[in-house]
Structure 1
Amino acid sequence: MGAFTEKQEALVSSSFEAFKQNIPHLSILFYTLILEKAPAAKGLFSFLKDSDGVPQDNPKVKAHAEKVFELTRDSAAQLRAKGEVVLPDAISKHLGSVHAEKGVTDPQFVVVKEALLKTINEAVGDKWSEELSAAWGIAYDELAAAIKKAMS
């Protein structure tokens, strides 16, 4: 994979800031994209289970999206600093057990990755680039690998 560069980390950081400026809109977009691609994923999220589509006013939608993007941003910082993603024990245990309990599969991790990249694309607008996409993609893949390891 080669080393994660300072520039890649900077791209992820700055676009995360752009995401944070518009979380209410972007978090709804994120889950809408997931459900478009994988309608069955609805049952995996407590805040989507009993609603039609993505609820516009549920604070959990926003909080969960922010967590996903934040963990990915943190993963980029770790890759730059240490060359790997290591989740703190408590987070690792929690994410591992939640994802295992819900039976999250590899294809579902891919759906979330695609939705994440499209959401960042929307957040940054014309600052979008292949390089930016690749940096988020690597950070997400490494985070997903750490979660999968915690699941087993």
Structure 2
Amino acid sequence: MGSLGSPAEFVLSSEQVQLIKDSFKAKLQADVPYHAMTLFINLFEIVPEAKALISFTRDYTGPMRENEGLQAHATTVLKKVVNIATNLDNEKQVEMFSKSLAELGGKHIGYGVKLKHAAKLRDAFVLTMAQGMGDTWSGDVQAAWIAAYDVIEQMFVVGLVGLAAPK
């Protein structure tokens, strides 16, 4: 069994984290539930079978934005991603997040989530950030968010594929 590696390997620069904080506050913070739903709607467009992996979307036939169960879940997911992304310049926080995300990845095995789904969620996430930030989605902002997402995904995948989380 492998492991993720040292948390220090996953610390972002303070400049990257500041770009994430500033861009989130400027464009997304005012309506997190909307952007969270956009993330999952984008995911379902990219990976239609992902709908079947979530209990409250599996048999839902109405407009997805009106699905209260998905709204709550999506909002929680986006808030957690942002919380983690805005703390990736703190090695102690990174260590804590690496353990909790690995555990979360392990839980998602039971939901039928596969490695390919995690990779496609990245595409949906980047698309959602670009849509939400509009003309402020610069190369530097994009690079910071992608770096943060990639760290989060790596930590999550440790549990998803059954690797040992860093100690």
Give the shorter-chain TM-score range: 0.7 to 0.9
Give the 3-state SS of the residue equivalent to 1:79 in structure 2: coil
Give CA deviations for 1:27-72 in whole Å, capped at 9, x if unaligned.
Answer: 3322221111111111111221112375222333232222222232
Aligned to 1:10: 18
1:73: Cα distance to partner? Answer: 2.2
Residue type matched to 1:6 in 2? Answer: S
CA RMSD of aligned residues (A): 2.6
Q: 2:96 aligns with which of 86, 94, 97?
A: 86
Shift of the 125–85 alpha-carbon distance from structure 1 to 2, 3 Å rule, reads farther
Q: Distance in 1 between matches of 2:108 and 2:59?
A: 19
Shift of the 134–53 alpha-carbon distance from structure 1 to 2, 3 Å rule, reads farther
More displaced stretch, 33-42 vs 64-73: 64-73
TM-score (norm 1): 0.81
Percent of matched pairs sharing the same residue: 25
Q: Give yes or no for contact 1:75–1:85 (8 Å, CA) kept in 2.
A: no
Q: Give yes or no for contact 1:34–1:111 (8 Å, CA) kept in 2.
A: yes
Q: Give yes or no for contact 2:37–2:71 (8 Å, CA) kept in 1.
A: yes
Unaligned segments of structure 1, at least 5 residues: none
Unaligned segments of structure 2, at least 5 residues: 1-8, 163-167
Equivalenced residue count is 151
Residue type matched to 2:19 in 1? Answer: L
Shift of the 117–31 alpha-carbon distance from structure 1 to 2, 3 Å rule, reads same
Q: Give yes or no for contact 2:36–2:78 (8 Å, CA) kept in 1.
A: no
Q: Distance in 2 between matches of 1:28 and 1:89?
A: 26
Q: Distance in 2 between matches of 1:47 and 1:34?
A: 15
Q: Give yes or no for contact 2:105–2:159 (8 Å, CA) kept in 1.
A: yes
